[in-house]
Amino acid sequence: MKQEILKITENVRIAENVYRMTLEGPELEEQKPGQFVNIRLEGQFLRRPISVHDSEPGRLVIIYKAVGKGTEQMSRMTAGETLDVLTGLGNGYDLSKAGDKPLLLGGGVGVPPLYLLARKLRAQGKDVTAVLGFNTKAEVFGEEDFKALGCAVTVTTADGSYGTRGFVTDALPEAYSTFYTCGPEPMLKAVYKKTKTSGQFSFEERMGCGFGACMGCSCKTITGYKRICREGPVLEKEEILWED
């Protein structure tokens, strides 16, 4: 984990209430797919965790939805302003288990972390399929970005206003070697039930400190309690215990 002051170089709206922000800093290291950063915002007690969407040395891209005070504050920031960011948080996805034909399943703001994963898997020559789920057409983003990487892409909307009507689980391909997923909990539960292979789930739980100190994100797994911020946010399908 590293604390850095990063400069905003872009902050643009890309869908309804959804923004893409690019941050730069000379010391910024490349982040791993599935890792997250934790952002301090003026007047907010807790930092706000946001997944890494894309990353290279010196540059970090995040995509976030304005849902409350913190993220709305972020959406009003402009290029040239700076943010205090904890980087290098979380375990990230394990690419070594991808097999030849990995499937990526993202829902809403669970789509952003899958982009860097897709880019890395494509660089390894994998045949990547991405199914991106949203509520409605106005909320859709990312389709062209995944296509540009050479992924086979299906978009689903719950109301049928764009792409395939339904949820990501209504558009699962016949064959895939494993899957990687991130999205709201009801979607993750449906993915857990409907998929037939091993896979990795990223949980975007509410967090406190974000770096393992407060136990606020702890959840029960097959192998005992785990802190989502430290031993997660990515858990293997086989270790998940759903609590009602």
Task: Out of 48, 126, 226, 227, point to the residue binding ligand FAD (CB under 6 A).
Answer: 48
Cβ closest to ligand FES, residue 149 vs residue 214: 214
Task: Out of 11, 22, 71, 157, point to the residue binding ligand FAD (CB under 6 A).
Answer: 71
Residue 227, contacted partner among ligand FES, ligand FAD, none, CB below 5-8 A by kind: ligand FES
The answer to the question of residue 64 lying near ligand FAD (CB under 6 A) is yes
The answer to the question of residue 37 lying near ligand FES (CB under 6 A) is no
User: By CB under 6 A, how many residues form the interface with ligand FAD?
Assistant: 20
Nearest-angstrom CA–CA distance, 55 and 29: 8
Q: If DSSP states are collapsed to H, E and C, what string results for the chain? A: CEEEEEEEEEEEEEECCEEEEEEECCCCCCCCCCCEEEEECCCCCCCEEEECCEEECCEEEEEEECCCHHHHHHHCCCCCCEEEEEEEECCCCCHHHCCCCCEEEEEHHHCHHHHHHHHHHHHCCCCCEEEEEECCHHHCCCHHHHHHCCCEEEEEECCCCCCEECCHHHHCCCCCCCEEEECCHHHHHHHHHHCCCCEEEECCCCCCCCCCCCCCCEEEECCEEEECCCCCCEEEHHHECCCC
Cβ closest to ligand FES, residue 214 vs residue 240: 214
The answer to the question of residue 240 lying near ligand FES (CB under 6 A) is no
| Type of residue found at 103 | L
In whole angstroms, how close is the CB of 49 to ligand FES at the nearest point?
A: 8
The answer to the question of residue 212 lying near ligand FES (CB under 6 A) is yes
Task: Out of 1, 5, 14, 69, point to the residue binding ligand FAD (CB under 6 A).
Answer: 69
The answer to the question of residue 109 lying near ligand FAD (CB under 6 A) is yes
Task: Out of 32, 53, 226, 227, point to the residue binding ligand FES (CB under 6 A).
Answer: 227
Are the CB atoms for 63 and 141 separated by under 8 Å? yes
In whole angstroms, how close is the CB of 24 to ligand FAD at the nearest point?
A: 18
User: By CB under 6 A, how many residues form the interface with ligand FES?
Assistant: 12
Site for ligand FAD, rule CB under 6 A: 36, 48-51, 63-65, 67-71, 109, 112, 204-207, 233
Site for ligand FES, rule CB under 6 A: 207-210, 212-217, 227, 229
